[in-house]
Structure 1
């Protein structure tokens, strides 16, 4: 079944394999599976490995989630534990259950 909805490109900036980084990635994957199933790509960037990449998206704190596509670009800082805040921040309308 084809949909005309866009694929979502999400970039999660972390600094090492910290509990907060793991929590942010876990929460992000959960929300994407619930609300964007099959329509998303998550790129995880560890700034301890590639610190030069922080400049491109103007990252000042970690973890930070950047929604690249669809536009507008949005950023959410923190471990993404507040689902409502993350969905509103990404402009995702929760699936009606």
Structure 2
């Protein structure tokens, strides 16, 4: 039943809901301002070269993308089916899947400058 005098309580509740929804939306949009990087690093077992590539990529990601990346390490011996779809021809290979466009790097990832510039993390 409508309140002839108006129900300020209902208006307050609606205002709170609108404010909460706006804060949630602003939080989601703030996350979009910094793209999330998604990497997949293909390695061959537990070799020195594989371990070095993993260490190098993690250091680069932490230094330039701290908290804003996902790194999936794929051992081609353990997950050969995943490798088939990635068109990997040499190991280790790092593939930046997101943000687009995808980008590939091959080698032990020790040339930090080449990777950082190639990812446009620094000019």
Q: Same fold (TM over 0.5)?
A: yes
Measured against aligned partners, the alpha-carbon deviations of 1:47-72 in whole angstroms (never above 9, x if no partner) come to 00111212211001110000000010
Count residues in correspondence: 94
Shift of 1:46: 0.4
- Deviation string 1:10-67 (CA, Å, 9 cap, x unpaired) is 0000010010110001011111111001100100000001112122110011100000
Q: Which residue matches 1:43?
A: 72
CA distance in 2, matches of 1:88, 1:51: 30
Unaligned runs of 5+ in 2: 1-26
C-alpha distance in structure 1 between counterparts of 2:121 and 2:86, whole Å: 21
Misfit runs of 4+, over 3 Å: none
TM-score, normalized by length of structure 2?
0.72
TM-score normalised by length of structure 1: 0.90
Which protein is bigger by CA-based radius of gyration? Answer: 2
Higher strand share: 1
Q: CA RMSD in A?
A: 1.5
